[in-house]
Amino acid sequence: MAMESTTGCVPVAALLFDSALRPGVEQLSVYAAQTGDFTVTRHAQDEPGQVELLRDGLSFDLWGLLPAPAIVPVEAAHRVGLPKDFDSQGLEMLWLSPGAHLLGAEHLMPVVRVAAALIRELAMLPGVKAIAWLPARQLMSPKWFSESVGVWLAGGPFPVLALTALVRSGSAFRSEGLAFLIGQEFVLTGRGGVISEEESRIAVRLTDWLVAHGRVDAPREVVLAGVGPVWIEPEGVDLLRVNRV
């Protein structure tokens, strides 16, 4: 379900709420005033249920607030940190997208960091049941998102399983959502055609390395901390083939 705000920006995240607790504009404004880390302003066109959020000098659009009609939750391909019986039926959703002045820059790491910090704050609103990071089609518990992103914002490793997804497919792991950050996804093939626990560790370390170093445009060997060397070879403009050395 593709949507965009009245400023033309495509959302990067969504917050899924208990239908009885989806907040309104005034409630969010009070919450922002209490936290002190972001502010709420109405758009000039005064679109019902849509506001601009300002944090660290960057603006983001949030829509789906009361009195706007409820937005049906997106279907996520991947889940993490949620109960097996988690059901999004009956929940209502808020979308978050970078503001118009960030159009084309939404994938840059400084913008992603501020967006993640903002979502982490919004995740503490009453009634939040799940967080969706849309580039990775990843749905996760607010606790999982907040903890993994919090470690990153405090100087720790990139939150691989919050802002990207790692999907096991046959004898390989493939990334999803990494292209939003560096323009490429990867496929990591298991040694001897077999996926082991070691490959899952390599996939996490590889994602962290690629986020830090950016796209790879020529074949090269990379030594990943704690797991050893891998061979990375571009295939076309948007895919990396990766094998253990």
Residues 194-234: tens digit of each pLDDT: 778 889 999 999 999 999 999 999 999 999 999 999 999 99
Question: Do both 235 and 126 map to the same domain?
Answer: no
Same domain, 17 and 61: yes
- Cβ burial of 224 (10 Å; 0-12, 13-18, 19+) is middle
Cα distances from 135 to residues 15, 79, 89, 100, in angstroms, run: 14, 13, 22, 18
Alpha-helical segments (H) within the chain: 25-35, 109-122, 142-153, 160-163, 178-182, 197-213
Across 119-142, average pLDDT: 97
Residue 86 shares a structural domain with residue 205: no
Q: Structure pTM?
A: 0.93
The pLDDT tens digits for 69-102 are 999 887 889 999 999 999 998 999 999 999 988 9
**4 within a domain of the structure (yes/no):** no
Which of 107, 125, 153 represents a domain boundary (last residue)? 153
Residues shown for the chain? 245
Same-domain pairing of 112 and 181: no
Identify the CA nearest to 116 among candidates 160, 63, 66, 79.
160
Between β-strands 78-80 and 138-140, what pairing exists: parallel, antiparallel or unpaired?
Answer: parallel
Burial class (CB in 10 A: 0-12, 13-18, 19+), 135: buried
- The answer as to whether 193 is a domain residue is yes
Residue 209: which of 182, 172, 180 has the closest Cα? Answer: 182
